[in-house]
A and B are shown apart, each in its own frame.
Chain A
Amino acid sequence: MKRFICVVLFILIFSLASAEDRTAAISTIKIFIDDTEFSWKRQSEKPQLVTGDEPVITAETVISFTSLRPEKKMTRSALEREVNQTELRLDDSGYFYSAKAVCIQSRKEPENMIVIITVKSGFLWRFGGGNAYGVFGKSCIDGRRLQVLGYAGWNKNGASVLYEHAFDSPAILGSSLFWDGPASLCTSDGTAPGTSGITGICTPGFFITPDIRFCTDIIGRVDFSSGFAEDSFCISPFAVCSKFFSRTLTSVSAAQAYFYPCIEQNPFSGAEIIASINWTPVRYVTFAFCTAGGLSPENNAHTFNLNWNTAYTSSNTVFENRIIRSGYKPNELTVEKYLYASFEARWNMADFLLPPAFNVRLQPFVFTDAALFDRTVRDAFGGGLRILFDNPVFAYFTFCYGVNHEGTGRFCFTATKGF
């Protein structure tokens, strides 16, 4: 009898598990952009316009945020997961005021699934700022993932162009040109000219999946007084993976290497990795954890700056937050190898309107940073406040103060929303 019950239970569990993970084919992907409908039935073809006018944002741009394709077969659970992630990616893109993705069973062909993606075009102009400079530009130019930004101010002037999924391919083309002046023309006491120059970055790359991109920063700097600096010419491949597990759990991880081709002995000069995770268990509280590590060969040029990241790299958004926010001197935080970890508890305190009408989020937080290098621990404990201007402004400011176990403190300002 016991054996019989066991067999029945086994069959039941097995059938439930197999029912859950039955393979399904996607017969159609319907895309609704504002009042326009597209239907995508064949992987080899583009989405076809069904009704409405050509929308502001193209259907190709919408499908670039998903790995779902018509005729693709996958398990139902995998399909539902990808549909959910598609919605989160579209939401996060900043291109849309609302985005919804669902999958339903076809009534005519129950073995097939239909994916329905509905989006409303958002505000595509961008304006923001950072530490003593302002930014203005436009995203999603011509309905594609093309962004042009102009920078002007005291310490950053220039422009950047980023074209993701260029010409409906997985390719990424990015480039930027910056002058770090007029601030760099002055020394701190304003008496003698400092070192001023132009930094150019070219960033080709491609998407491996909608979440993972692989790019290479090709960076060169021309100094006004000394000309082209060989040790500033850097080729830096990197990979970034942004993952949306749910609306409340996200992660970003990245790896980057640094090569200096003009240095004859050993062009490879370092590599680092970083991973961060954000979890919002309840509306008002977010926990964020970040860990990173860097390694540089002995007697080589590259050093990692855990004090203040001023490097002009397109991957800045990933690595610029791994800093020790307490009163160490800059040279104490400039290292050739390191291990780093940081934790923040954030309180999503208020969401209000700042005159004339800026949508602002206030986020006080407490943090602890720790880094290990040269058998020494450098740490920081403190608190701060983030002022986050979300859609349509996209400008972020972090002010914080931290002390280390030696009791020395430092005030920090960064133009990011943290890791």
Chain B
Amino acid sequence: MKKSACIFLVGVLSAAVFAQSQKQVIQKGIEYHNLAKTESDGYAAKCRETLQPYIEKDMTARAYYGSAITLQAEYCSESNPVHALDLLREGSAYIDDAVKRDNANPGLHILRLVNGMQVSESSPFKRYAVLKDDTVWLSKKENLSGLDNDTLALVYLYSGLYKIEEGDIDSALDLFDQAAAISPGSDTAKAAQKMTARYEE
């Protein structure tokens, strides 16, 4: 009995350790994703490499893996736009699939909103259909509970950018004001203020 209890405990502990280490690895992959700026820094490739083992089990890993592919698309958009389009489609498919499989996760909707706006503005690959769903989903208060102020500011900023695309300037300006108010001094707030200045004189 003791032996089986020990085995069970060891099993639980190793599963916990494994889960902890998986979480850490995914977190590391997300850090690489957030650091990626140029191809030469290699972070987008490192992000993909790090997250690749987890993309079937963890939807956050899958979404960031997709987002890293879209970052790589940006690197080759000038030299090989056809390949860039291919990467954008591939990356966006991973993100869409992650959102579909874990639809209640606000982080995935936010990632898709931010990524989709950037992709739509800087490529012929338009993501406005899914962005509309995300802004509607993120406009519901119950879906935003538990998010910190910086993340909320990001939601307001990108929802505002989408509203501009829709031609609803008043709603966009309201959202930019909310973004600036909820996280004063942050980069997101500065970007929101910049957008407000652009549309007000």
Residues of A within 8 A of B (CB): 27-28, 30, 32, 37, 97-98, 100, 102, 104, 106-108, 114, 116, 120, 122-123, 125, 353, 356-359, 390-393
Contacts and interface: CB of A to CB of B under 8 A. Distances in A.
15 contacts: A27-B201, A28-B201, A97-B122, A98-B122, A107-B201, A120-B121, A120-B122, A123-B77, A353-B89, A356-B83, A356-B86, A359-B85, A391-B124, A392-B124, A393-B82
B165 interface: yes
Q: Chain B binding site: helix, strand, loop or mixed by DSSP? A: helix
Given A97-B124, A104-B199, A120-B121, 16 more contacts: A28-B201, A97-B123, A100-B165, A102-B167, A102-B199, A104-B200, A107-B200, A114-B201, A123-B78, A123-B81, A356-B83, A356-B86, A357-B85, A358-B82, A359-B124, A393-B82
Contacts of A357: 82-83, 85-86
B120 interface: yes
Contacts of B89: 353
Contacts of B165: 100
A122 B124 contact: yes
B80 to A, nearest CB: 9
Nearest to A102: B169
Interface in B137-178: 164-165, 167, 169
A122 B200 CA distance: 27
A374 B149 CA distance: 77
A100 B121 CA distance: 10
B198 A30 contact: yes
Interface of B: 77-78, 81-83, 85-86, 89, 120-124, 164-165, 167, 169, 198-201
Contacts, number: 57
B169 to A, nearest CB: 6
Given A102-B164, A353-B86, A32 B77 contact: no
B81 to A, nearest CB: 5
The listed residue with most B CB atoms (<10 A of its CB), out of A107, A125, A357, A358, is A357
A375 B189 CA distance: 72
Contacts of B198: 30, 32, 37, 116
Nearest to A119: B121
B29 to A, nearest CB: 25
B121 A98 contact: yes
Contact of A353 (B85, B123, B164, B200): B85
Contacts of A353: 85-86, 89
Nearest to A127: B82
A359 B198 CA distance: 34
Nearest to B167: A102
B201 A106 contact: yes
Contacts of B85: 353, 357, 359, 392
A392 B83 contact: no
A104 B81 CA distance: 35
A350 to B, nearest CB: 14
A97 B121 contact: yes
Contacts of A120: 121-122
Contacts of B120: 98
Contacts of A122: 124
Given A108-B201, A114-B201, A359-B124, A100 B164 contact: yes
Contacts of A30: 198
A356 B76 CA distance: 15
A232 to B, nearest CB: 39
A393 B122 CA distance: 17
A97 B74 CA distance: 13
Contacts of A114: 201
Nearest to A101: B167
A392 B199 contact: no
Contacts of B82: 356-359, 392-393
Contacts of A123: 77-78, 81, 124
A340 B83 CA distance: 43
A98 B77 CA distance: 15
A390 B85 CA distance: 12
A24 to B, nearest CB: 14
A5 B188 CA distance: 54
B81 A392 contact: yes
A164 B81 CA distance: 25
A39 B82 CA distance: 34
Given A356-B83, A357-B86, A104 B77 contact: no
Nearest to B200: A107
B131 to A, nearest CB: 13
A116 B199 contact: yes
A287 to B, nearest CB: 23
Contacts of A106: 201
Given A116-B199, A353-B89, A390 B169 contact: no
